[in-house]
Structure 1
């Protein structure tokens, strides 16, 4: 399965989700490759920091920020159970290539005044991709939800019949994700029973159910 994290809006947590989904599957014993298709190279930086910290590698991270991704990712998928693509922060040929490569596109968005929900460009790209990949699944996932607020629940309820849909699992705005990033780790490696780790586990399980 090839999963791409895409949204033309920056700062919505694409890299964090990409790393943690890849890590969750790798910790289950599955072979995983993460493609860093963001020219900023944040996932590669995380991988390098992990090596500096002397933490064993969980999965491979490959820099592949070019618009031939739709041809190269399936080749990588032959040798891995899951390929996770951390996509670019703007609409480019590279983002279109990632869309064409993916079986599942997750669109992270913060639950603030329709942060990304009304993005006509992103939704238009998905519609275009469905012409060539009719089996493509492309839900939104609410990310960086503020603690002790009801806005995430209200947004999810409002968008329950939205097309594309919104996943039931949400990811909070938690310090643990920043701490993990600085040390080249995953939140589950720092606190396997903490709220951040539980949210990632819930999201991973929902994705598995969705793609059966």
Structure 2
């Protein structure tokens, strides 16, 4: 199964969610790797820190995650979208991010109409006005939203440097719920 993490802009959490999913799949006994095409190379750096796997060209994995550049016109982005079984369009509940998410979802649908495309709300602060508006905001996006949402948690950032053990119980549960939801799309 190929999963592409996609966003037109940077800073919405593609790399962080990709790494969390990598760890969740790895802990579930799946062979998993990340193909890091973001110029910052954050996925590759983090994988070295906690012993994960960067994708090798001829290797086959149960799950291959693509970390794409924040640019819909980049060749690597187009390739990753075309190879995807599942495309995760990341956004925050911020209106500025949502505008870009709809354009990104449309791009993904045009490039790969056979992929399951899901909007994932990231950095959600529960109980806030923006969080309460998520169901209405999701109606304006051309891809269905995946539930659960990813909460704003500092431990997710800590996981970049320390891996799965940096997550508290509720964070692990949240990531596992997203992982199961994605796996159900790949069947």
TM-score by length of 1: 0.79
Please, which runs of 5 or more residues in structure 2 have no aligned partner?
none
What is the CA–CA distance in structure 1 between the aligned matches of 2:140 and 2:107, rounded to whole Å?
20
Cα gap change, 1:60 to 1:153, in 2 (>3 Å): same
Q: Which residue of 2 aligns with 1:25?
A: 25
What is the CA–CA distance in structure 2 between the aligned matches of 1:38 and 1:174, rounded to whole Å?
23
Quick check: 1:34 aligned with 2:9?
no
Contact conserved, 1:96 with 1:125, CA < 8 A, in 2?
no
1:90 deviates by 1.2
How do 1:1-212 and structure 2 match up within 5 A?
Answer: 1-50=1-50, 57=51, 59-62=52-55, 76=59, 79-91=60-72, 92-119=74-101, 121-130=103-112, 134-160=113-139, 162-183=141-162, 185-186=163-164, 189-191=165-167, 193=169, 195-212=170-187
Name segments (4+ residues, structure 1) moved above 3 Å. Answer: 116-121
Contact conserved, 2:8 with 2:100, CA < 8 A, in 1?
no
Q: Could you say what secondary structure the match of 1:61 adopts?
A: coil
Contact conserved, 2:89 with 2:105, CA < 8 A, in 1?
no
Cα gap change, 1:104 to 1:165, in 2 (>3 Å): same
1:158 deviates by 4.1
Please, which runs of 5 or more residues in structure 1 have no aligned partner?
51-56, 64-71
Cα gap change, 1:173 to 1:190, in 2 (>3 Å): same
What is the CA–CA distance in structure 2 between the aligned matches of 1:13 and 1:105, rounded to whole Å?
14
Contact conserved, 2:69 with 2:76, CA < 8 A, in 1?
yes
TM-score by length of 2: 0.88
Contact conserved, 1:9 with 1:116, CA < 8 A, in 2?
no
Contact conserved, 1:143 with 1:171, CA < 8 A, in 2?
yes
Higher gyration radius (CA): 1
Contact conserved, 2:89 with 2:101, CA < 8 A, in 1?
no
Q: How many pairs align? A: 186
Contact conserved, 2:31 with 2:62, CA < 8 A, in 1?
yes
What is the CA–CA distance in structure 1 between the aligned matches of 2:11 and 2:137, rounded to whole Å?
23
